[in-house]
Structure 1
Amino acid sequence: MKRSRKLAGLVSAGVLTTTALLGAPEAAAIDHEVQTADPDPGGVAWFTEHGDYVYVCDQEPDGWAVGLDVYWNGGSYTLSAGGSGNCDLADASESGHDLPENAYINFRVYLHKSGTPYAYQRTAQWYNDN
């Protein structure tokens, strides 16, 4: 099940904390980060290997939403958050979101709005060994 929440309501059980973005994962818990390619990044994605936590957050009140495609050999899913301060998250406990261990996982973060599906996209590939 996809969960979308306002950042202020995202703090829970030590997984998330208040940092530069209220509700962003703790710096120590973040294994990887990628931001959209625009000059003042409007979107950011984080990946925490232990538990397969994946977050995508909209950082700018600019009318664009941020999307994240997560894909690997044999599977994929997409997250999206619109409106400054909103995030979407997924973790291994959700059906279809348990990422394979000892495998490369691909991430594509981008901004989108009607008529412009993949603006300022940036891709990253990380090895999931937890």
Structure 2
Amino acid sequence: MKKVLGVAAAALFSVLTFAAPASAAEHTKHLHTGDAFGDVTGWSGEGVFTEEGDRVHICDTDADGRGVIIYVYKGTPATGTLRYSMHVGGNGKCVTKSAADGGGYDLPESRVGFKFCRYWKEADGYHDGECKDYDFLNDNS
């Protein structure tokens, strides 16, 4: 009987050990901007949204003279309410915001959306383009 219980406990531990990383992975979302040429392998920026702590991290990953900007919404980018935006420029530079920063950075436990774009300044002001939209259920309690 002890041997059967030992095997059952080992099997349960094995299932729990392998289930935990999969669960954690479901709460991290990878984001990419568009680019000037529509090439899905040539993103101008990359980012990660981690539900735990509402962490949004973006990086400029292209030496193209343009930065990246992300708009963060309660709801989808098309119909939601803008919570905040942040931008960074310079190949390899990154910026991060999270619930620990307070205010609008503490996202609701509901659908959240992101519009992630290339970003540049010209004589008539700032522009964004080559955007990708994302939305996720922020359900990490």
Q: State the TM bucket, normalised to the shorter chain.
A: 0.7 to 0.9
Provide the residue aligned with 1:62 in structure 2. 64
Aligned length: 103
Provide the residue aligned with 2:28 in structure 1. 31
Is the Cα–Cα contact under 8 Å of residues 69 and 78 in structure 1 kept in the other structure? yes
Provide the residue aligned with 1:117 in structure 2. 127
Distance, in Å, in 1 between the alignment partners of 2:30 and 2:95 is 15
Distance, in Å, in 1 between the alignment partners of 2:88 and 2:82 is 21
Is the Cα–Cα contact under 8 Å of residues 29 and 48 in structure 1 kept in the other structure? no
More strand by share: 1
Aligned residue among 86, 89, 95 for 1:79: 86
Q: Tell me the percent identity.
A: 32
Distance, in Å, in 2 between the alignment partners of 1:75 and 1:120 is 19
CA RMSD, Structure 1 to Structure 2 (Å): 2.0
Q: Which runs of 5+ in 1 are unaligned?
A: 1-26
TM-score, normalization by structure 1: 0.72
Bigger-Rg structure (1/2): 2
Distance, in Å, in 1 between the alignment partners of 2:98 and 2:138 is 13
More helix by share: 2
**Alpha-carbon distance, 1:28 to partner:** 5.2
**Alpha-carbon distance, 1:31 to partner:** 1.0
What's the secondary structure of 2:91's corresponding residue?
coil
Distance, in Å, in 2 between the alignment partners of 1:53 and 1:126 is 13
Is the Cα–Cα contact under 8 Å of residues 30 and 46 in structure 1 kept in the other structure? no
Distance, in Å, in 2 between the alignment partners of 1:104 and 1:28 is 18
Is the Cα–Cα contact under 8 Å of residues 56 and 97 in structure 2 kept in the other structure? yes
**Alpha-carbon distance, 1:79 to partner:** 1.2
Is the Cα–Cα contact under 8 Å of residues 118 and 130 in structure 2 kept in the other structure? yes
What's the secondary structure of 1:93's corresponding residue?
helix
**Alpha-carbon distance, 1:29 to partner:** 8.8
Q: Which runs of 5+ in 2 are unaligned?
A: 1-23, 76-80
**Alpha-carbon distance, 1:95 to partner:** 2.0
TM-score, normalization by structure 2: 0.67
